[in-house]
Each structure stands twice: as structure tokens, then as C-alpha cells.
Amino acid sequence: MRNSRPTFISGLYAVVDSGLARLEKAGECADELASGGARIVQLRAKGVGSAAMLRAAIEMRKALAGRAIFIVNDRIDIVLMAGAEGVHLGQDDIPLKDARRLLPSSIIGVSTHSLEEAERAEADGADYISFGPVFPTTTKKDADTPKGLAMLKEVSEKVDLPVVAIGGITEETVLSVLESGASSAALISDILLAPRIREKAAAVSALIEKARNNRG
């Protein structure tokens, strides 16, 4: 195991998804999210050309400027060229052990949908995992069936890694995933489709911080 419950994966995990946000505005969106208190911001751009994704990643890295951890979904090449802090890998992406050879000191997260996948990611040296979808979601068209809070709680108790709850989470349900053991919560459409992204992120961040204080 590379890390034991690293503390840097906590708070609001925000995602700039090209299906919901224009890539030309990715830097501005990242600035709004960080200003609203997001601790981690991921760029997810499925089916987008490499040049456009690299431009967006560079703008996001400049906008975040140390205020939030910058993670790129899937693309190790974009991580390296844009200077992001880490990559998030799906189950069908490059294997974690191979990614670690290319990114020896970077943060590597892995999407998981079962206890078996979560334990394998931990054994392979992931820095954190995401688990879900916890609730029904329309953001990811090929999402698994919802896993529910009970399974999130089981995974959170059985792996010694930060668990980012993802999938259908909203301001109204964020406390429930934290109470089920998640270290962080990823919100996508609930924030990106809000009339004022910064204010929405700030409201969610305040709820998460309150829950963390109550835990401590």
C-alpha cells in the first residue's frame, strides 16, 4: 500500500465535465469551483480531441494555481503535458501499476463499483478510490446500477484509502454519503448546472466542512 488514508483527498471533489460545461470555459469554471471551496477539481472530457483537451487542462491548471488539486480523467499524456497533480483511471483504462511507472509521484485515483474492485485498487497502490454510482445518475450514460449507501459504508470501512462517493449526489444528499464513511463527495450536474456555480460550490463545501467538524 502506497499511502494510508492520505488526508489530501477530502472535501468537495468537483468535476468539469465536457458534457455539461464548455471546454473553452474550463479555466473559468475551475476558478469558480475553487473559489467556492472545491478541494479537488477533475477535468473529464470524453470523446474530445487531444488538442482541445490539452488547452482546457492548461487553462484549468493556471486557474487553480495551488488552490485545489487538479486531476485529469483517463489521460496520462495530458497530465504530463499540462502539469496536473494526478490522474483518475476507470476500470477499462491503463492499469494502475503501469500508470504508476509513468507517474511515480503523482496522485492516482481509481473508479470502483464493488468491494472487490476497491480492494484490488488498494492492493495495486491507488492513492484514493471513487465508489459509485451511489444514486441514480444521468451524467454518465454507461453508469452501473446504483450501489446505495449501505454498500458505500461497507467499502469505506474495509479499505484503508480515502473514498470519494460519486453518482447522483446533490446538495440535499451529500451529508448522507459522508455519514456513510466517504472522505469526499463528487458532485457534477448539481453544481455545473446551477445558476451560480461559485455559490453552489460554496454551499456544498460548507455542508461538508460542517460534517467533518462534527466527526472530529
pLDDT digits (tens, 9 = 90+) for 114-151: 999 999 999 999 999 999 999 998 776 666 799 999 99
Catalytic annotation present for 111:
yes
39 catalytic residue (yes or no): no
In this structure, what C-alpha cell is assigned to residue 187?
458532485
CB 10 within 8 A of CB 161: no
pLDDT of residue 2: 42
User: Tell me, what's the pLDDT at 140?
Assistant: 64
Cβ–Cβ under 8 Å, residues 182 and 156 = yes
How far CA 154 is from CA of 3, 39, 115, 147, 179, in Å, comes to: 20, 25, 8, 11, 12
The predicted pLDDT at position 138 comes to 75
Q: How far, in Å, CA of 175 to CA of 169, rounded?
A: 10
Higher-confidence residue of 29 and 142: namely 29
| Dihedral sign (CA 134, 85, 45, 41) | positive
Tell me which of 39, 44, 147, 198 is the catalytic residue.
44
Count CB-CB contacts under 10 A for residue 150.
Answer: 9
Catalytic residue among 39, 140, 198, 200: 140
Q: What is the pLDDT of residue 216?
A: 61
Set 10, 18, 106, 111: catalytic member: 111
- 3-state helix, strand and coil shares in percent for the chain, rounded to the nearest 5: 45, 20, 40
Between CA 43 and CA 51 the distance in angstroms is 14
pLDDT category of residue 210 using cuts at 50, 70 and 90: confident
Please give the single-letter amino acid code of residue 101. Answer: R
Which CATH number among 3.20.20.70, 2.30.110.10, 3.30.390.50, 3.40.50.970 corresponds to the domain 11-215?
A: 3.20.20.70
pTM listed for this prediction: 0.93
Residue type, 39: R
In this prediction, residue 3 carries a pLDDT of 43
Higher pLDDT, 6 or 160: 160
- pLDDT (0 to 100) of residue 212: 79
Give mean pLDDT, residues 20-30.
Answer: 97
Q: Please indicate whether residue 210 is annotated as part of the active site.
A: no
DSSP 8-state assignment for residue 18: T
